[in-house]
């Protein structure tokens, strides 16, 4: 095997479509294992990105790798609509056990976006209603159907004229809560008002098939809504016979400290979209609902060639087993709480750190301009570049790219959290010192 990988850096930009975001860290790697990536230079990088919240069991967990190898020895392709095989059946049963409520019937696909498409199609078939309501700032994927409900960034929708059959209402915004008022009461009151306006002026509730929401805002900036806000959305749906879809593509499989955020918030949706962590990195996703609901989706109205691939199903079965055996859901809650406490201490001495939002190992650290308090995407990039140099990878999110996304594999331990956060602390301090110098320099020039 060639050890000269520099052609990756020179050739890839020419051969891959530039539309694909080249997000930080855009690092050429040769290997990944556990909580680490290994770069071209042979350097080890502590990975707090998990391949965007996907490698929940760590990279290449030996049990997952073994399941994939065994799977390939038996059956590499179904398709699930034409051939029957054991792994897809076993997986459905295993998933039904860890999902909330009566979510026990599955349409398997390959990506989060496809699971969302399936969820919306199912809701429209069941209700025979045309419209969908989504929440501003949420990300649900980039296909044309998913884009009709994705509003995390307007550039994703540019020139595409997403179909007009969706309406948007604001996500929970506790930041604008007037002082002295309870934030939960505030966002619930605002939600009721927003829906009153929507239903009185734009669309009648009888025409709305479903509402789709990320229980924790992901790409839009890692915002954790108060429990009561999601509960009230459930109530509004029930009031009007509207189906509730949770997009748990990112929040699922232990990320928020429970198997799913639905359990964290104690709100059960009618339909759920799951993906990312489901198969530790192999492409697999599912639209999930109760059998009763799924039965109303007419024969042949949806299908797939690759969805529910047998090897991906084997990987998912091994993933669930590892999450259970190694108690990784609990570890997510404990390590998340530990990291949050350390970050709160760092925040006290760091004027560039705005708010910290965390649920399990889904942690957002907002970077702000210390003078104006405004989101500072450039500052974030300077900090992440320093972390990269020091061998620790973080990702980013937020409308202005101003929120550090800390999403380590759920296998992460205290020492790794301590190391990663010490590096972040150093990077923040260095950046603050540079800012201070710049500011004092500009005062001298006045």
Ligand X SMILES: Cc1ncc(COP(=O)(O)O)c(C=O)c1O
- What does the binding site for ligand X look like in residue numbers (CB under 6 A)? 52, 111-113, 116, 139-141, 214, 218-219, 247, 249-250, 275
- Shortest distance, CB of residue 110 to ligand X, whole angstroms? 8
Which is nearer to ligand X, 267 or 435 (by Cβ)? 267
- Shortest distance, CB of residue 256 to ligand X, whole angstroms? 12
Which is nearer to ligand X, 52 or 337 (by Cβ)? 52
- Shortest distance, CB of residue 276 to ligand X, whole angstroms? 6
Sheet containing strand 403-406, strands side by side:
353-359, 362-367, 403-406, 395-397
Which is nearer to ligand X, 223 or 435 (by Cβ)? 223
Which is nearer to ligand X, 311 or 352 (by Cβ)? 311
Which is nearer to ligand X, 119 or 423 (by Cβ)? 119
Which is nearer to ligand X, 139 or 171 (by Cβ)? 139
**Alpha-carbon distances of 221 from 158, 171, 355, 358, 396, rounded to whole Å:** 20, 11, 11, 11, 8
- Shortest distance, CB of residue 342 to ligand X, whole angstroms? 26
CB atoms within 10 A of CB 300: 7
- Shortest distance, CB of residue 140 to ligand X, whole angstroms? 5
- Shortest distance, CB of residue 253 to ligand X, whole angstroms? 13
- Shortest distance, CB of residue 6 to ligand X, whole angstroms? 29
Which is nearer to ligand X, 109 or 423 (by Cβ)? 109
Q: Which residue is nearest to ligand X (CB)?
A: 112
């Amino acid at each position: 095997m060639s050890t000269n990988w520099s052609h990756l850096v020179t050739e890839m930009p020419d051969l891959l479509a530039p539309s694909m975001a080249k997000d930080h860290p855009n690092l050429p790697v040769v290997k990944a294992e556990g909580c680490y990536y290994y770069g071209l230079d042979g350097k080890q990088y502590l990975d707090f990105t998990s391949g965007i919240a996907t490698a929940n069991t760590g990279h290449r967990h030996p049990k997952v790798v073994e399941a994939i190898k065994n799977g390939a020895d038996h059956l590499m392709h179904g398709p699930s609509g034409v051939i029957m095989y054991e792994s897809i059946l076993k997986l459905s049963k295993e998933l039904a056990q860890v999902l909330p409520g009566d979510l026990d019937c599955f349409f398997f696909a390959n990506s989060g976006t496809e699971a969302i498409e399936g969820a919306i199609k199912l809701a429209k078939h069941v209700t025979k209603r045309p419209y969908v309501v989504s929440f501003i700032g949420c990300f649900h994927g980039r296909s044309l159907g998913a884009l009709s409900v994705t509003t995390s960034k307007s550039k994703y929708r540019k020139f595409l004229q997403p179909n007009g059959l969706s309406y948007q209402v604001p996500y929970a915004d506790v930041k604008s809560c007037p002082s002295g008022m309870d934030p939960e009461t505030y966002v619930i009151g605002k939600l009721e008002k927003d829906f009153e306006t929507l239903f009185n002026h734009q669309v009648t509730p009888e025409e709305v098939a479903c509402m789709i929401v990320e229980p924790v805002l992901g790409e839009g900036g890692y915002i954790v809504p108060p429990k009561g806000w999601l509960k009230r959305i459930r109530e509004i749906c029930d009031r009007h016979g509207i189906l509730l879809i949770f997009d748990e593509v990112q929040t699922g499989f232990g990320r928020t400290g429970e198997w799913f955020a639905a359990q964290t918030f104690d709100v059960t949706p009618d339909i759920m979209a799951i993906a990312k962590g489901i198969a530790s990195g192999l492409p697999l996703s599912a639209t999930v609902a109760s059998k009763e609901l799924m039965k109303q989706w007419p024969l042949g109205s949806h299908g797939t060639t690759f969805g529910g691939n047998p090897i991906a199903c084997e990987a998912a079965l091994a993933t669930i087993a590892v999450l259970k055996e190694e108690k990784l859901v609990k570890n997510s809650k404990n390590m998340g709480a530990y990291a949050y406490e350390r970050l709160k201490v760092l925040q006290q001495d760091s004027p560039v750190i705005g708010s910290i939002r965390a649920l399990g190992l889904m942690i957002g650290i907002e970077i702000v301009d210390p003078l104006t308090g405004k989101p500072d995407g450039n500052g974030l990039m300077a900090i992440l570049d320093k972390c990269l140099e020091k061998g620790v990878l973080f990702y980013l999110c937020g409308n202005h790219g101003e929120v550090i996304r800390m999403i380590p594999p759920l296998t992460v331990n205290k020492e790794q959290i301590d190391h990663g956060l010490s590096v972040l602390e150093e990077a923040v301090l260095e950046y603050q010192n540079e800012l201070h110098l710049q500011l004092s320099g500009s005062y001298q020039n006045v």
